């Protein structure tokens, strides 16, 4: 087996990987949320109620760090570039692997990532600024409330890509074909109307320039669980570090509908 996706995971496993935008073209990337079994059912329900920011593409068995449907030789504990460990809703560490944090009661959720639809945008000659700049996509907490489930409630997080208006219209058409990786944008322009005070200061990721002939286009983002985990103050959780995803063996082309 010599898939680019597998090579990307091996690089993560060796501690030799950075941001994953543009890595292993053609393969689906995923956001990660890991919770104890006692919280997993409520979190699963939260994802079902909020499919735009939290489209599930894979779930592990309790205590099992592998999700065979997402990749051969895939290990949730080692195969992301960096993780974020949470205690009582506060991030306390960002390790390169979570071997020492893994427990027999943990359930891993892999959530669809906008990097999948970026490939379709690029194929249509729509520029992706954070890839051009070699940085992480900018992400923002909003005033858009998610539907609550158990202890999980809070704001939607969005990712932003600056586009010319004509490209923005085309991007809506293209990404609407990918509902399992966030689908069409949730907002265009006017960031203050969704609670973003300063577009130059993202809550996660890195800022990117917005040219005078462009508008910010916002998609629901799989970092939303991190905002919700913080709001719920669950005793223990693990997520990916924003912008540093799990590369799976699934193909982006197989996610398109219509």
pLDDT in tens, the chain (258 residues): 678 999 889 999 988 867 777 788 889 999 999 999 999 999 999 999 999 999 999 999 999 999 999 998 999 999 999 999 999 999 999 999 999 999 999 999 999 988 888 888 999 999 999 989 988 899 999 999 999 999 999 999 999 999 999 999 999 999 999 888 889 999 999 999 999 999 999 999 899 999 999 999 999 998 898 889 999 999 999 999 987 899 999 998 887 775
- Any idea what the CATH number is for the domain that residue 147 is in? 3.30.2040.10
Question: Are residues 181 and 160 part of one domain?
Answer: yes
Helix spans in 88-223 (H): 115-123, 129-133, 165-175
195 and 123 both lie in a single domain: yes
CB-count burial class (<10 Å; 0-12, 13-18, 19+) for 159: buried
Q: Are residues 18 and 90 in the same domain?
A: yes
Residues 6+ apart with CB under 8 A from 97: 13, 15, 77, 78, 83
What tokens were used for 257? 């509908």
Q: Quick one: 72 and 156 in the same domain? A: no
* Exposed e or buried b per residue across 213-252, where buried means at least 16 C-beta atoms within 10 angstroms of its C-beta: ebbbbbbbbbbbbbbbbbbbebebbbbbbbbbbbbbbbeb
Domain extent, residue 146, equals 115-220
Tokens of 188: 């265009």
CATH number, domain containing residue 39:
3.40.1640.10
Residues 17 and 67 both lie in one domain:
yes
Same domain assignment for residues 41 and 141: no
Q: What is the pLDDT of residue 16?
A: 80
Per the structure, how many domains does the chain have?
2
One domain, residues 109 and 237 = yes
The number of C-alpha atoms within 13 Å of 152 and in the hemisphere containing its C-beta is 27
| CA dist., res. 250 & res. 105, Å (int) | 26
Residues 102, 133, single domain; the answer is no
How high is the pLDDT of residue 258? 58
User: What's the pLDDT score for residue 1?
Assistant: 61
Say if CB 29 and CB 248 are below 8 A apart: yes
- Residue 25: φ, ψ to 5°: -55, 140
For residues 88 and 161, membership in a common domain is answered with: no
What size, in residues, is the chain? 258
């Amino acid at each position: 087996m010599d898939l680019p996706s597998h090579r990307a995971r091996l690089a993560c496993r060796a501690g030799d990987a950075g941001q994953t935008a543009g890595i292993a073209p053609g393969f689906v990337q995923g956001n990660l949320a890991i919770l104890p079994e006692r919280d997993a059912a409520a979190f699963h329900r939260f994802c079902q109620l909020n499919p735009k920011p939290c489209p599930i593409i894979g779930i592990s068995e309790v205590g099992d760090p592998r999700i065979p449907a997402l990749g051969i030789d895939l290990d949730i504990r080692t195969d992301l570039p960096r993780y974020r460990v949470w205690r009582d809703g506060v991030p306390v560490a960002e390790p390169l692997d979570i071997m020492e944090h893994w427990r027999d009661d943990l359930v891993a959720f892999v959530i669809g990532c906008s990097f999948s639809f970026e490939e379709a945008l690029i194929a249509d000659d729509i520029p992706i600024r954070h890839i051009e700049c070699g940085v992480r996509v900018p992400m923002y907490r909003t005033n858009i409330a998610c539907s609550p489930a158990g202890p999980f409630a809070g704001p939607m997080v969005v990712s932003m890509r600056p586009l010319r208006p004509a490209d923005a219209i085309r991007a809506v058409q293209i990404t609407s074909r990918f509902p399992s990786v966030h689908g069409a944008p949730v907002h265009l322009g006017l960031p203050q109307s969704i609670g973003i005070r300063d577009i130059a200061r993202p809550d996660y990721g890195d800022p990117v320039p917005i040219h005078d002939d462009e508008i910010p286009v916002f998609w629901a983002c799989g970092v939303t669980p991190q905002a919700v985990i913080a709001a719920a103050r669950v005793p223990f959780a693990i997520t990916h570090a924003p912008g540093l995803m799990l590369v799976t063996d699934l193909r982006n082309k197989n996610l398109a509908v219509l």
